[in-house]
Structure 1
């Protein structure tokens, strides 16, 4: 569909905001919001509980947790540590980690493209334990209980000639993890959420969806194991910026006239272009370390 509805977002929260702007009720969707004023962290949980809700949202049924932290793109170690603990807490709620688990972490994306390198960077900072357990056993590494953590960076189809899902399916079949955690860069509808927002969901993830390059999903249905998706919006659709800039100039027009004008004025090729902040290289490194620390904290204790 043309106009504002064509503008892309991977964040469930932003989809609910669009319905709110249009004064449209979404049946089968529950929204809970919590704001920690001291830490300046806003957490919104969107639960899609019915098939009708899933159809309206254009997303699978499940939980979508959005952590919004305005200073997340800054190099503040204490602040990032708080976010890491938030990530850990939500992971422990979505995954039962009271018993030993085998966990495969998949770093999606292209390490050669900065805005798409979040997943590979997270894997670099992850504490892997599977090889140690297999080599020395739990007693050999001084632990009575420990989660078995392994990771992979499957690359992208242009590099491997294979679907990411094919590679991950092969690894899952061979290593038989209890849960897969997939990390990927996303696209946002709002510029203010770039590199400042983390979405955690128990519905899996679709590699390449952020830039409209839809590939087979890493989901429980496809992999036959529970899949947790963690993503950060690092890019925004170029059409979004044009749309928002022009919309401010058109406030005097009626809503219907605005939509018609914007649909005609935004060039189709803008929907295939994406914009990212100029300091994205440093920011992605901060974010990847924050997420990897969140995973390390979550998986460090049984």
Structure 2
């Protein structure tokens, strides 16, 4: 049934693209684009400024920054360093100029590779809060932010909501900002492992794969929450739909196709075969961006 066919995406950019025409204007939503041809990094900033825009986009009011790097799955270390530097620049803007204590949360299941991005990012992170507590801020070079980190796991492993764990850590350690890192779902296969989204609205873990958990955001935690995500999976039904639509040239036939797509495909998600190496590489790129931004 058509009603059972849902295109799932965590990317605000793809939510905007779902309206069809590229130049369509949505009241309360502002789009800014920047192209860095030399470094092959393309930035799109989606600013949802009103509740009308939020309802239309299906995303909370806030800023969504999308970095598209077509060669991010390559092994070019210099290219990844450039991505890290661009990511760090956006993180600094969202965090503000003031030095603050930051808690980094690596969401996901380290036992499931497409979902292991957050844990692997934390594994490469430079944590410094314990050094500051022991030796004082003077022990850190420059104006580094004291950084702590946690990998809360998933409910199947802990028996607890991720939010319950994070809320407890925030209450005990009192960070001034939280950065959460998670794997996302994309609408387009060309964005898998080649796109980074940064937003100041927090995150709803699992929303892109239909496994909604409690939101992790400023309203809930009481401190600003920045979310970083990379799409690592795409809905199988989306792949089938997109492939067949290229072969079917009328609206009526496309409608018929959508009605015939098996609802079971909505529970299947696809990831590239080289996901192990890709997650390892991309997690290092993101952790380096965090290390640069927080140093």
TM-score w.r.t. structure 2 length? 0.96
Task: Tell me the equivalent position of 1:101.
Answer: 100
SS at match of 1:234: strand
Q: Is the 8 A contact 1:198 1:231 kept in 2?
A: yes
Q: Secondary structure at the match of 1:39?
A: coil
SS in 1 for 2:18: helix
Q: CA deviation at 1:210?
A: 2.6
Tell me how far 1:137 sits from its aligned partner: 1.6
Contact between 1:4 and 1:259, CA under 8 Å: does it hold in 2?
Answer: no
Deviates more, 1:196-205 or 1:142-151: 142-151
Shift of the alpha carbon at 1:136? 1.7
Q: Distance in 2 between matches of 1:263 and 1:145?
A: 55
Q: Cα offset for 1:125? A: 0.5
The secondary structure found in structure 1 opposite 2:19 is helix
Match of 2:280 in 1: 285
Are the counterparts in 2 of residues 19 and 25 from structure 1 also a CA contact under 8 Å? no
Shift of 1:22: 8.7
How many residues are treated as equivalent by the alignment? 295
| Cα deviation 1:99-149 (Å, max 9, x = unaligned) | 32010000000000000000000000100000111112233x254643110
Q: Distance in 2 between matches of 1:70 and 1:4?
A: 32
1:124–1:106 distance in 2 versus 1, CA, 3 Å: same
Matched, 1:298 2:293: yes
SS in 2 for 1:88: helix
Q: What CA distance in whole angstroms lies between the structure 2 residues aligned with 1:87 and 1:18?
A: 25
Which ranges in structure 2 are unaligned for 5 or more consecutive residues?
none
Q: Answer yes or no: is the 8 Å Cα contact 2:5–2:258 preserved in 1.
A: no
Partner of 1:69: 69
1:272 to 267, 275, 287: 267
TM-score by length of 1: 0.94
RMSD of aligned alpha carbons: 1.6
The equivalent of 1:161 in structure 2 is: 159
Structure 2 residue matching 1:20: 3-state secondary structure? coil
